[in-house]
Amino acid sequence: MSRHSVPVRSKKHALLELARSGPVRARDLAACRIPRTYLKRACDQGVLEQVDRGLYRLAGGETTELESIAQVSKRVPHAVIALLSALQVHGLTTQVPHAVWVLIDRHARTPKLAYPKLEIVRASGLARSHGVEERIIDGVPVRITSPAKTVADCWRYRRHVGMDVAIEALRDYLRTQRGGVDRLMEAARADRVYAVMRPYVEALAA
């Protein structure tokens, strides 16, 4: 066995292990000291597939909504997963999003991804920063709005998601998040929809 054969095999193994933990960006290879040429080799061998510029995943797998969220978070780390996508993660909707919904700063550059499709809303101040949590999804750190902030956002952006979605999210939140009314109303104040939401909260919580 040559001295060169061991690192070649270990680097290929390291690349596959990296891909098994979630989508891989070309720049992720630097931390593992894997040459970028290994990406092309893995694609040529049918082990990996390129899903967007600079983004790869294991070949042959079905893309789930959570995988799409992980891909977006990896490509656009300043974006916050929000609205219908966050509702799905929190189990607060029966809707199946046709895109990944993200919240970005009002002055941030618009992300341009060929895949997955994005729905983008913008905010600033507390409406952008309040209630942002971090979760690990498919091995990727994902910034996502909390359940309370997600529901409040549905009311803030009700013209985007639909009033039926906003009411359903509120109903499911009140049913599943016991003792969460204070957090919900705090998020509503951050989003400046307290006056709009309050009558619905009082009616549904009665």
Structural domains present in the chain: 5-58 (1.10.10), 65-205 (no CATH)
- pLDDT tens, 79-117? 999 999 999 999 898 877 889 999 999 999 999 888 888
Residue 4 has pLDDT above 60, yes or no: no
pLDDT at 125 over 80: yes
Model confidence pLDDT, tens digit, residues 130-184:
999 999 888 789 999 999 999 999 999 999 999 999 999 999 999 998 779 999 9
How far is the CA of 95 from the CAs of 15, 71, 119, 125, 154, in angstroms? 35, 20, 15, 29, 13
**pTM, entire model:** 0.73
Please state, in angstroms and rounded to a whole number, the distance separating the CA atoms of residues 89 and 32. 30
Quote the pLDDT of residue 2: 41
Band of pLDDT at residue 61, cut at 50, 70 and 90:
low
pLDDT tops 80 at residue 7 = no
